[in-house]
Structure 1
C-alpha cells in the first residue's frame, strides 16, 4: 500500500491535469494516474471558450496557450454552394474579456502535462497505471490499479467517456446515447483560409456539415458530420476512434464549391483521419458518493455541438478545487451540486442545438445561436458556436 495521498485523480487528460494544477494552486496535493504507457500529443483540434481560457490564464498559462493556438474572431456559416448564411463574432471580438482559442488537443495536453510535472514534481503523473476499481471507506479510498493498491482521501474520476469510476458508481441504465451522426476528423497542413481567424461551418445537403478552423502550427482542423442513423442507444458495433478512408471521406464533399476552400483537397491532404459516433449520456441525478466524484467527460459527456466539453471540464476543476479548499471532503457534494445542474443544462442545450442545426436558413441559424447563448451561460460567459 502506498502512502495515502490527499487526492488521487484517475485520468491524465485535459480535465484531470487541469484539476491537478488547480488543486495545487489551492495548496492541495494530488497524484494523477493514467493507463497509457506514455502520454503523447494525440488528437486533432479543440476549442477553448472564454470561460475556460480565463481559468487557464489564472493558472499562469495564458501566454503559453496563446503561443500554440489561434484566436478566432468569428464563426461563419456557408452553404455548400459558397453562399454566406450567417456570421457571429467570437472571443474578444464578441465582447468577452478573454479570447476563444482553437488549438491542437495534443499540444494543449502536452502543455498541461509539462506544467503539472514542473509544479508538482516528476512523479505527480503516473503513466502505465490502469484503474480497475476502488473501495471507498470512511476517510480513505483504495484504488485498485495495475501498479497495485493506492490509497487517497479522495478519488476523482476524470477518466473520460468510458470511465471506470463512473461504471462502478452507476453500473445500470447509463448507456452511451448516439445522435445518429458519424464524425470524421482530421488535421491538414494548409495555409489559413479567409482571414486566418475564422471558424467555418459549411452546410451541405442531407444534413451533412463540414466544420473547419485553423489550430496553429500550420494545421487546419476539419470535422465532417454525416447523419447515419436515428438517435438512440449506441450499438455495440458502432466503432470508436476507427481509422477512416480519407478518399471516401473526401468524395462526400467533392461537389462542394467554395471560392476560399477546396474541401475535398483539404481532406485528402490529411495523413490520417478517424471516425467517431457523436455521443453523450443522459444527465445523472448524482455523480459520486463518500470520498469519490466525477469530473469532465466522466461526469457529463456531451455532443461537441457548442465546443463546450473541454471547457466545462476546466470549469469543473476550478469549482472542485475551490470547494475542497473551503471544506475538504464535504466539498465534494457542494462541487457536484454546483456543477451537475449547470452541465446537465448544457447537455440538453447541445442536443437541442444539434437537432435545430440542420437548417440552412439565415434566420433559423441566428435564432438557434441566440437561444444557445441564453441556455449555456457559465460564470458570466456563454458560447454559441454550433460545433467544435
Structure 2
C-alpha cells in the first residue's frame, strides 16, 4: 500500500519541520504558502532541548546551532540589577541536548533550505495560500490561490489565523488577550554577562524585559507592558505593527543595570514592533480522518514558557509517527497531542500570572512547577 500523500498548509517552522519529518519517513509531501517570498522576518525564538533532539533526528541540529546561541541559564533580576534567581538551561540543566536561541527568520531559512535540498525546489508553492478544502471519500481537495490540489491528508500549519482551523471549528472562539502588550526587537549588540545567559528583568508596574543573544551578533529583547483587561482580543489591539521607540524607552528610563543599558538596546534596534500576548482556549479535538492542525493553528500559547515553536516541532514528529503506523493515524496523533498541548497552554497561563512575583523563592517554585506541568508534552 502506498504511503498517503500529505499536503501541508503553511511554510512556517511547524509546517516545514512537518514536511521534512514526513519526507524522512517516505511520504510524498507538498507545502502551500500564502506568502510570495520567504523572507527572514521576525525576532528571536527559543528551541528547548526536546525540539533540538527532533532537529538532530533530521540532521539539522548542528546547522541550526551554527547560527544560534546556546544559553546555559536563565537569570532573573529586578530593575536595580539585584539578582533574584538563576535556573540552569540546556546541557547545564542536565538535559541531553542544548537549548538554542535563534532568529526566527534564520531558523525558517535553514528549514526551507533543507526542504529544497531533500524534497526538491518545487516542494514549497509560494503564493498558493489555502482558501478552503473539500473532503471526499478518496481524499481531500485543497483550494488555493494557485489552483486545486489533491491529497490524502491535509495538515493545517497555517498559524494563529489558520484558514484550516476556521473551517474545522468556526465557533472555536476568539484569540484571548492576556492584557499584555509586547514590544519586540533584535539589536546589534555584544552579548551581556557571560554571553550565554537569558535574562528576565522585573521592573515596577509589572513591566518585564526578556532578553537573550540569538547568534549573528544579535540580542533579542521583549518588553512586556500591561495594556488592558484580559479577555477576547480587541479589534484595535494591533499585530506586528511598528512601535513608537520613545514610548518603549519611557518604560525603562529609570532602570539601572550595571550589565545592560536597556535604552541603548532599544536604540540599537533597527525595527521595533508591537504584538499582543495572546493564546486560544484549547480545542477538545483538532480535525477529521483526513484533516488536522499543527503548531499555532492547533494550540497558540503565551510565549512565557519559550515553548510554542518547540511544541510545533514535536507535533511534526508525532504526526509522522502515527501516519507511519497506518490507518487512523490522525486520530492517534490528536489523542497524543491535544491533551499535552492543552496542558502547556494552561501552564503558560499559570506561569504568566505567577511570574509577577519578585520573591526568589516564588520564582524558583514557579519554574519548577512549569517543568512538572509540561513534562509529558516533550515526548
Partner residue of 2:260?
Answer: 261
Cα distance in 1, alignment partners of residues 171 and 301 from structure 2: 19
Please give the TM-score of this superposition, normalised by the length of structure 1: 0.96
Change (3 A) 1:247 1:257: same
SS at match of 1:278: strand
SS at match of 2:234: coil
Change (3 A) 1:90 1:263: same
Partner residue of 1:386?
Answer: none
Q: Is the contact made by 1:132 and 1:144 (CA closer than 8 Å) also made in structure 2?
A: yes
Q: Deviations over 1:301-333 (max 9, x none)?
A: 0000100000000000000001001114x1001
Q: Is the contact made by 1:136 and 1:290 (CA closer than 8 Å) also made in structure 2?
A: no
Displacement after TM superposition at 1:61 (Å): 0.5
Cα distance in 2, alignment partners of residues 190 and 226 from structure 1: 23
What are the ranges of 5 or more consecutive residues in structure 1 without an aligned counterpart? 382-388
Displacement after TM superposition at 1:5 (Å): 7.6
Alignment of 1:79-98 (within 5 A): 79-98=78-97
Partner residue of 2:217?
Answer: 218
Q: Determine whether 1:332 maps to 2:330.
A: yes
Alignment of 1:306-345 (within 5 A): 306-328=305-327, 330-345=328-343
Displacement after TM superposition at 1:379 (Å): 6.2
Please give the TM-score of this superposition, normalised by the length of structure 2: 0.98
Partner residue of 1:165?
Answer: 164
Partner residue of 1:361?
Answer: 359
Which stretch of the first structure deviates more once superposed, 180-189 or 243-252? Answer: 243-252
SS at match of 1:159: coil
Q: Deviations over 1:215-253 (max 9, x none)?
A: 000000000000111110101111111100122211211
Q: Deviations over 1:166-211 (max 9, x none)?
A: 0000001421000000000000000110000000000001110000
Partner residue of 1:385?
Answer: none
Cα distance in 1, alignment partners of residues 297 and 172 from structure 2: 15
Cα distance in 1, alignment partners of residues 248 and 139 from structure 2: 50
Partner residue of 2:52?
Answer: 53
For the aligned residues, what is the CA RMSD? 1.2
Partner residue of 1:276?
Answer: 275
Alignment of 1:132-151 (within 5 A): 132-151=131-150
Cα distance in 1, alignment partners of residues 289 and 252 from structure 2: 51
Q: Deviations over 1:18-40 (max 9, x none)?
A: 00000011011110000000011
Q: Determine whether 1:373 maps to 2:365.
A: no
Cα distance in 1, alignment partners of residues 244 and 376 from structure 2: 38
What are the ranges of 5 or more consecutive residues in structure 2 without an aligned counterpart? none
SS at match of 1:354: helix
Change (3 A) 1:229 1:380: closer
SS at match of 2:313: helix
Cα distance in 2, alignment partners of residues 261 and 371 from structure 1: 29
SS at match of 2:229: coil
Alignment of 1:234-249 (within 5 A): 234-249=233-248
Q: Matched residue pairs, number?
A: 377
Q: Is the contact made by 2:341 and 2:377 (CA closer than 8 Å) also made in structure 1?
A: no
Cα distance in 2, alignment partners of residues 62 and 181 from structure 1: 33
Cα distance in 2, alignment partners of residues 210 and 379 from structure 1: 27
Cα distance in 2, alignment partners of residues 244 and 222 from structure 1: 14
Q: Is the contact made by 2:128 and 2:144 (CA closer than 8 Å) also made in structure 1?
A: yes
Q: Determine whether 1:115 maps to 2:100.
A: no
Partner residue of 1:183?
Answer: 182
Q: Deviations over 1:154-175 (max 9, x none)?
A: 1000000000000000001421
Cα distance in 2, alignment partners of residues 10 and 379 from structure 1: 23
Q: Is the contact made by 1:177 and 1:282 (CA closer than 8 Å) also made in structure 2?
A: yes
Q: Is the contact made by 2:314 and 2:378 (CA closer than 8 Å) also made in structure 1?
A: no
Q: Is the contact made by 1:296 and 1:312 (CA closer than 8 Å) also made in structure 2?
A: yes
Partner residue of 2:291?
Answer: 292
Change (3 A) 1:380 1:283: closer
Q: Deviations over 1:245-269 (max 9, x none)?
A: 1222112111100000010110111
Q: Deviations over 1:122-169 (max 9, x none)?
A: 110000111111111123111111101111111000000000000000
Cα distance in 1, alignment partners of residues 75 and 344 from structure 2: 22
Cα distance in 2, alignment partners of residues 300 and 140 from structure 1: 25
